[in-house]
Structure 1
Amino acid sequence: MTNVAAPLPLAISRPLDAPRAAYALNDARRDGAAVPVSGALVRSVLRSALHSHGAAAVEPDGTVVFSFGPTASMLPAVLGPVYRAVPCEWPPRTPCCALCGHWEREHDEPGAPTACTRYRLSIGPARFAVPEHEGVTYAWTRRLGRTRVRFEITEPTGAFPGGTLMVRRMPAPGDGPYEYAKHFLPIPRDRRTAVLERARRRVHPQPCPA
Structure 2
Amino acid sequence: MPTVAAPAALAISRPLDVPGPAYALSNVDRDAAAVPVSGALLRSVLRSALHSRGAAAIEPDGTVVFTFGPTASMLPAALGPVYRAVPCERPPLTPCCARCGHWEREHDEPGAPTACTLYRLSIGPARFAVPEHDGVTYAWTRRLGRTRVRFEITEPTDAFPGGTLVAHRMPAPGDGPYEYVKHHVPIPPERRPAVLERARRRVHPQPCPA
The question of a shared fold, defined as TM-score above 0.5 by the shorter chain, is answered with yes
- Aligned ranges 1:32-51 → 2 under 5 Å: 32-51=32-51
- Cα distance, 1:59–1:107 mapped onto 2, change above 3 Å: same
Match of 2:21 in 1: 21
- For structure 2, which runs of at least 5 residues remain unmatched after alignment? 71-79
AA partner of residue 171 (structure 1): P
Tell whether the 8 Å contact from 1:55 to 1:69 is kept in structure 2 after alignment.
yes
Match of 1:52 in 2: 52
Distance in 2 (CA, whole Å) between partners of 1:12 and 1:200 is: 45
- Aligned ranges 1:158-169 → 2 under 5 Å: 158-169=158-169
- Cα distance, 1:186–1:55 mapped onto 2, change above 3 Å: farther
Give yes or no for the alignment of 1:99 onto 2:121.
Answer: no
- Cα distance, 1:132–1:81 mapped onto 2, change above 3 Å: farther
Please provide the CA RMSD for this pair: 2.3
Q: Which has the higher contact order (CA 8 A, sep 6+)?
A: 2
Identical positions, percent: 85
Distance in 2 (CA, whole Å) between partners of 1:160 and 1:83 is: 25
Q: What's the CA shift string for 1:158-208, capped at 9, x where partnerless?
A: 33222221111111123345434111222222222111111111111268x
Query: How far off its partner does 1:8 sit?
Result: 5.0
Distance in 2 (CA, whole Å) between partners of 1:49 and 1:156 is: 32
Tell whether the 8 Å contact from 2:140 to 2:203 is kept in structure 1 after alignment.
yes
Aligned residue pairs total 192
AA partner of residue 17 (structure 1): D
Q: What's the CA shift string for 1:77-128, capped at 9, x where partnerless?
A: xxx5432211011233322112211011111211222121110011111111
- Cα distance, 1:43–1:95 mapped onto 2, change above 3 Å: same
Match of 1:76 in 2: none
Match of 1:83 in 2: 83
- Cα distance, 1:102–1:154 mapped onto 2, change above 3 Å: same
- Cα distance, 1:13–1:168 mapped onto 2, change above 3 Å: farther
AA partner of residue 150 (structure 1): R
Tell whether the 8 Å contact from 2:11 to 2:57 is kept in structure 1 after alignment.
yes
- For structure 1, which runs of at least 5 residues remain unmatched after alignment? 1-6, 71-79
Distance in 1 (CA, whole Å) between partners of 2:35 and 2:53 is: 25
Q: What's the CA shift string for 1:11-67, capped at 9, x where partnerless?
A: 434222322111011222233332211001111122223333433332222111223
Moved more, 93-102 or 194-203: 93-102
Tell whether the 8 Å contact from 2:135 to 2:155 is kept in structure 1 after alignment.
yes
Divergent runs of 4+, >4 A: none
Q: Normalising to structure 2: TM-score of the pair?
A: 0.80
SS in 1 for 2:204: coil
